[in-house]
Structure 1
Amino acid sequence: MSYQLSAVVADVELLREQTADLDHAVLGALRQDFGLLPVTPQLMQELTGELPDFATGEPSAEQPFQLVLSPALAGDDSRSRRGGRRAEPELSELLARWSRQGPVAYLEAEFAGGLGHQAAMVWLGGEVSWGPCFDRALDRPRGEWPINAALARLGAEPGPWIDPFAELGLHLERDTAGWLAHGRRGLSPDYWDELAEEWELRQSDPRQQPHRPGPVGDWGNT
């Protein structure tokens, strides 16, 4: 089963304030009062004045993100190819600006058939405070995986779920289209939890698990 993520995560009120005037911003609700902003071409064009750039080649530690947050982070010369500094800010500049109100993370992940990668970066106080961090193997303790580590730096607290990724509910949708639908329908992680509980009550075998949008225990490794 595949999983894809390209999103900004931060306190939901911070994101709501920063995107209130944007036509293409759709916020998905997470647990612990966090929100997820799916990054789409339409949103990028509205934020930066241009369609997004994507890095060439496979993501790596040297090139952790597929989405080019800024030429400096991507290590390319896209700014010079456009003939100088852009009139509109890069996404990295916007996230740095937003982070003056609280920590902001950009998260990427893509898995299919157990193979893939994840990467994350955190801004705070107007500058990068952590990352970028990239991992393809995911053979370290779960708390050190890039997305989990970034969520901890946002202030995600431990709970009954296996890690911050599941605790906040990032497993509930499998891709950008799912998060857009999640946000437009005003769904919350509680909605899925209630469905699961209702399903469990109807089952005769207590060992069965509810069908959810994706695995919790080993997302990205299955």
Structure 2
Amino acid sequence: MGYELQAVIADEGLLRTASRDVPGARVVSLRQGLSLMPVTDEVFDAVTDGGDTGYLGFRRLPRGFEKRLAEWSAAEPVAYVEVEYFGGVGGQRAAVWGNGALVLGPLEVPTRKWWFSRSISPVSQALRWLGASRTRGEDEFEAVGLDRCRSHDDWLSSGDG
């Protein structure tokens, strides 16, 4: 079974307010006061400036969207994450904007799942920037609940979007 996510993650209040001007945006609550906004095709089309994909090495970060993420981060840090695994093979990529500028990353780990320390994974590092904490036996990814859904469709139908 696979796992795929391209999303913005931030403080719930910030993300709900900031995403109001993004057509098609749906915000889903996570734990620890965070939320995510999946970058669906509709969101991608609404926020791209039409440039090439692959910006900052991300597979699906809409070109030009980084400016909006920087603006949103003036109040609280904002992360963009991409995770893709199928059959234990895939990778993670993450970046964080804070105070209007890129402050972390982009970080990337293309690897077989869990061949790296989960606590230093790109997504876990980004979540720490957002204030997430972990408990013994889990990483930040699990602590905020990113393991509860496996695709955009799952997140959007989770009843909170």
Secondary structure of 1:4's aligned partner: strand
Deviations 1:150-192 (A, max 9, x none): 111111022366110000000111011111112xx227xxxxx
CA distance in 2, matches of 1:91, 1:116: 24
CA distance in 1, matches of 2:62, 2:22: 19
Mapping of residues 187-202 of structure 1, within 5 Å: none
Length-normalised TM-score, structure 2: 0.89
Q: Does 1:106 align with 2:80?
A: yes
Secondary structure of 1:32's aligned partner: coil
1:203 aligns to what? none
1:220 aligns to what? none
Q: Does 1:144 align with 2:123?
A: no
CA distance in 1, matches of 2:30, 2:18: 17
Query: Is the 8 Å Cα contact of residues 165 and 171 (structure 1) preserved in structure 2?
Result: yes
Deviations 1:173-212 (A, max 9, x none): 1011111112xx227xxxxxxxxxxxxxxxxxxxxxxxxx
Amino acid at match of 1:165: F
Q: Which ranges of 4 or more aligned residues in structure 1 deviate by more than 3 Å?
A: 52-55
Mapping of residues 102-141 of structure 1, within 5 Å: 102-137=76-111, 138-141=114-117
CA distance in 2, matches of 1:14, 1:126: 14
Deviations 1:42-87 (A, max 9, x none): 112223465x8534xxxxxx963111444xxxxxxxxxxxxxxxxx
Question: Which of 103-112 and 39-48 deviates more?
Answer: 39-48
Amino acid at match of 1:122: V
Query: Is the 8 Å Cα contact of residues 107 and 121 (structure 1) preserved in structure 2?
Result: yes
Length-normalised TM-score, structure 1: 0.66
1:66 aligns to what? 59
Pick from 134, 143, 153: which aligns with 1:167? Answer: 143
The structure carrying a bigger helix percent of its residues is 1
Amino acid at match of 2:125: A
Note closer, same or farther for the CA distance 1:66–1:29 as it changes in structure 2 (3 Å cut): same
Matched length: 159
Query: Is the 8 Å Cα contact of residues 160 and 167 (structure 1) preserved in structure 2?
Result: no
Note closer, same or farther for the CA distance 1:44–1:63 as it changes in structure 2 (3 Å cut): closer
Identity of counterpart residues, as a percentage? 35
CA distance in 1, matches of 2:157, 2:14: 21
2:132 aligns to what? 156
CA RMSD of aligned residues (A): 2.1
CA distance in 2, matches of 1:54, 1:22: 19
Q: Which has the larger radius of gyration?
A: 1
Gaps of 5+ in 2: none
Secondary structure of 2:70's aligned partner: helix
Query: Is the 8 Å Cα contact of residues 161 and 167 (structure 1) preserved in structure 2?
Result: no
The structure carrying a bigger strand percent of its residues is 2
